[in-house]
Chains A and B, each alone.
Chain A
Amino acid sequence: MEAVALKERENQIHVKGEAPFDIVCNKDSLAGAVSQRACVFCGSRVVLYPIADALHLVHGPIGCAVYTWDIRGALSSGPELHRLSFSTDLQERDVIFGGEKKLAAALRELIARHQPKAAFVYSTCIVGIIGDDLEAICKSVEGECGIPVIPVKSEGFKGNKRDGYQAACDALFRLIGTGDTSGISNYSLNILGDFNLAGEIWMIRDYYERMGIQVVANITGDGRVADIRRAHGAALNVVQCSGSTMHLANMMEEKYGIPSIRVSYFGIEDMAEALYDIARFFKDPDMLERTKKIVEEEVKKLATALEPYRKALAGKKAAIYVGGSFKAFSLVKAFRLIDMQVVMVGSQTGTKEDYLELEAITDPGTIIVDDSNPLELTTFLKEKEVDVFVGGVKERPIAYKLGIGFCDHNHERKEALAGFEGMLNFAQEVYSSVMSPVWQFVPRRKSAASPR
């Protein structure tokens, strides 16, 4: 039988229980392997995208901007500038003679037109090659227009998606510390790494407010420039999706002495743990009491609501392939909560520590994989007889083509899956795919056969 993976990728796949854990990760994607990863630009765009009152100008040829036009479910409670796609749309003559003039003119035009509170200027591949001085252009336009104009060093080829997260954090860090922090409570925090998909950050903020905590800045779901500028006044950084914004939390700790807590908002267990961790941090007995009450109330509501789903889904098999591995931990636990079995789990950008943790929380025989590709994924799905695959848009047709259920857990989704309510939505999502009668017709079911 043909090998599942290219030889160079074999050490990026691990089966729990088969060998000592030694997965290789965080390396460049192998040429020709059809990685599911994107690029540095993508990483930056994902993190900064939801800042709704900022101008997001992509400096480069049209592709990078047009493929990221309003594709994410990141909602705003006010301005919606982030939903527009701005590009300098560089042409051949710009590539030859440089794109600086066009960039400056485009910035002036767009700032005058939309009155944003700040502008982010994203570098794309060729900007790094033609040598446009983004720093200088941004500085000069900033001086003219009186708003922060921040270059994002996101040339696509200069690393992978993680480097893009870092570039976004660097850009955010330039904004932080420039606002007035007066009036911020001692019981306050910033939410890092939630992107308000389908309104999730509103649910999370509600929990914090019920606990008696002031949320200073959303970084970046439903984000506002003014909030981010004063984020250094918060007492705590709560970091979810640690891959994308941990770097920012670390920089803020170093410069402003703000400690951080890593959390996940997915699944009852992790959501409750997140609230308790935060309550314990503030060392306030009343807050801890309030937190207990919130968790109790929410869990009580959920337990009964989840029961029918758990009954129906018990014993079904799930596979997970997501961008960041932190989400994968929560998903493993969330599936366990509804008695489903996770048989494969992987991510585009996990670190060695992440995979170690995954290997610790999964059952023996579970496949753990870094930076996978369609051919490997289909082999795993078939081999493990999976009932539902959790991933993003790129993974969806792989599952569907094989007649396997699918749950979208990426940035494009329109369903809130975080928080306590999110767990119920998640169970409903999984249920609505796994239990559909359409699978009776797909070739992998024996009953499917032909019309006669």
Chain B
Amino acid sequence: MSKNPPTFAKPKRPNSIATTNACKLCKPLGACLAFKGIEGAVPYLHGSQGCATYMRRYIISHYNEPIDIASSSLSEKHAVYGGGPNLKLGLTNVAAKYRPALIGIATTCLTETIGDDVAMYLRQYAEDTKGSVGLPTFVNVSTPSYSGTHMEGFHAAVREVVAQLSEGGPRGETVNLLPGFVSSSDFRLLHEILADFGLGYTLLPDLSETMDGPALLEYEKIQQGGTPLANIRAMGRARATVEFGPTLDSSITGGDVLKEKFGIPRHRIGMPIGIRETDVFFRLLEDLSGRPTPEKYAKQRGRLVDAYVDGHKYVFGKRAIVYGEEDLIVGLCSFLTEIGVTPVLCATGGTSGRLKEAVAAVTGDTLAEQPQVFEGMDFFEINEIAETLAPDLVVGHSKGYPLARKLHIPLIRVGFPIHDRVGGQRILHLGYAGAQQLFDTVTNAMIEKKQDDSPVGYFYM
């Protein structure tokens, strides 16, 4: 870097009517993933058959794991006369074949538009099946795909699970952790961290096993793992809730429900990505557990700082385009700025209205100039302004590959979906361990780019 860093133009926000190559997914998909993280649960879409099949294909291509999503398979006559009978038939069939502990029902744009009242159908169903044994628990969530993204769907499902199942009572010793949509490896890491702090906890949802399971002899109708129902019920008696998500609407999350309904203190923090945001998380865990951070994590942090120092020159001043889910963007920006990378564009398909503020909150003390933060963006619009930003790297999921390819710069694959590599579910983002992986990945990508672009062909960098 020169002493006087170059200045760049700040492009205006493009504004198309049509959406081209969306940078978001639809609401019911998020709900299905959240339900999939509950023990013994089958996600169920009240809609036409295609939604379930499309989402399964999309999710499978990331996880390479089975995911069965049942559907009401509504046809024309159901759309006219209401989908109630098919919903009930579908629930009976899923209950018979899967013997689930829970069926998580999410609506779709079709059933929302025809005005199906799923809660009422479920009351009728309970009436109809009175006295039957072995029926699952039902949770329903309204997820019209014409409002919000898959992340709103994910958080809405978590909220409804808590609102419909959690029970109060004498305050216990456990802590609730609602991390949002993170990778299976991230979920496993969170288990490890909470256990190492000696905390009793409920992690909701939990995709650590259900979407990254072992090879099997007998096919499991419902994959093992997930948050146990008994623990979810007990969430109303926890002594605190920790929720990741600085851009979440602070009146409609699971943590809010637990706070309003049962008076459980809620701690809203950012996704622990990078050192600073992980420090915040660990300090909170120290407070909640009354224990110091275990030696293991102090060492991890120490190695991470050492790695930051070793690699800092390769990444300093590099300019990044970061896109995807809003809370993930915030965490990534915190990480990128603390290693010396400058986020120049943050783009999301979401429209929380809070992304800009949240990014500023984690980068303000480091960055001289804030990145452009645009909500409601698609990849066509990102493409339109990308070149003028002179980026060195692109950070996000697989759908940004065409952009990175066009710009001849590396794509750092994070989040969901990873459709062009194996192991998307095993990308670690959180904690000191996640930051270590991210740092090595980003730094090596920068070194590789420099090496490949060099006419010399250095192999000693």
Complex CA distance for A266 and B326, rounded to whole angstroms = 46
Interface size class of A (residues with CB under 8 A): 35 or more
Question: Which parts of B49-86 form the interface with A (CB within 8 Å)?
Answer: 49-58, 60-61, 63-76, 78-79, 86
Is the CB–CB distance between B71 and A397 below 8 Å? Answer: no
- Known contacts being A39-B49, A67-B55, is A397 close to B145, with CB within 8 Å? no
Contact of A393 among B24, B57, B92, B94 (CB under 8 A): B57
Q: Is B458 an interface residue (CB 8 A)?
A: no
Complex CA distance for A196 and B7, rounded to whole angstroms = 47
Complex CA distance for A382 and B216, rounded to whole angstroms = 12
Q: Is A186 an interface residue (CB 8 A)?
A: no
Question: Which parts of A393-432 form the interface with B (CB within 8 Å)?
Answer: 393-394, 396-398, 400-403
Question: Which parts of A364-417 form the interface with B (CB within 8 Å)?
Answer: 373-375, 378, 382, 392-394, 396-398, 400-403
- Known contacts being A66-B22, A394-B57, is A126 close to B109, with CB within 8 Å? yes
Contact of A397 among B24, B60, B108 (CB under 8 A): B60
Q: Is A31 an interface residue (CB 8 A)?
A: yes
Binds B, one of A223-231, A237-245, A296-304, A441-449: A441-449
Give the number of residues in B that approach A within 8 Å (Cβ atoms): 73
Contact of A86 among B20, B67, B93, B146 (CB under 8 A): B20
Binds A, one of B25-33, B174-182, B359-367: B25-33
Instruction: Tell me how far the C-beta of B114 lies from the nearest C-beta in chain A, rounded to whole angstroms.
Output: 6
Is the CB–CB distance between B18 and A106 below 8 Å? Answer: yes
Complex CA distance for A29 and B53, rounded to whole angstroms = 12
Contact of B49 among A37, A68, A88, A128 (CB under 8 A): A37
Q: Look across to chain A and name the residue whose beta carbon is closest to the beta carbon of B56.
A: A394
Complex CA distance for A52 and B439, rounded to whole angstroms = 40
Is the CB–CB distance between A156 and B51 below 8 Å? Answer: yes
Is the CB–CB distance between B71 and A129 below 8 Å? Answer: no
Question: Which parts of B214-273 form the interface with A (CB within 8 Å)?
Answer: 215-219, 221
Contact of A29 among B20, B73, B349 (CB under 8 A): B73
Contact of B60 among A63, A87, A394 (CB under 8 A): A394
Question: Which parts of B345-387 form the interface with A (CB within 8 Å)?
Answer: 349, 380
Q: Is A38 an interface residue (CB 8 A)?
A: yes
Q: Is A284 an interface residue (CB 8 A)?
A: no
Is the CB–CB distance between A32 and B90 below 8 Å? Answer: yes
Is the CB–CB distance between B78 and A34 below 8 Å? Answer: no
- Known contacts being A42-B53, A62-B19, A125-B110, is A34 close to B75, with CB within 8 Å? no
Which residues of A lie under 8 Å from residue B146 when comparing CB positions?
A: 61, 90-92, 94-95, 126
Q: Look across to chain A and name the residue whose beta carbon is closest to the beta carbon of B22.
A: A66
Q: Look across to chain A and name the residue whose beta carbon is closest to the beta carbon of B98.
A: A375
Complex CA distance for A42 and B25, rounded to whole angstroms = 17
In the assembled complex, 13 residue pairs joining A and B whose CB atoms fall closer than 8 Å, in A order, are: A31-B71, A31-B87, A33-B70, A35-B53, A36-B53, A39-B48, A42-B50, A61-B145, A88-B18, A105-B17, A109-B18, A126-B113, A382-B218
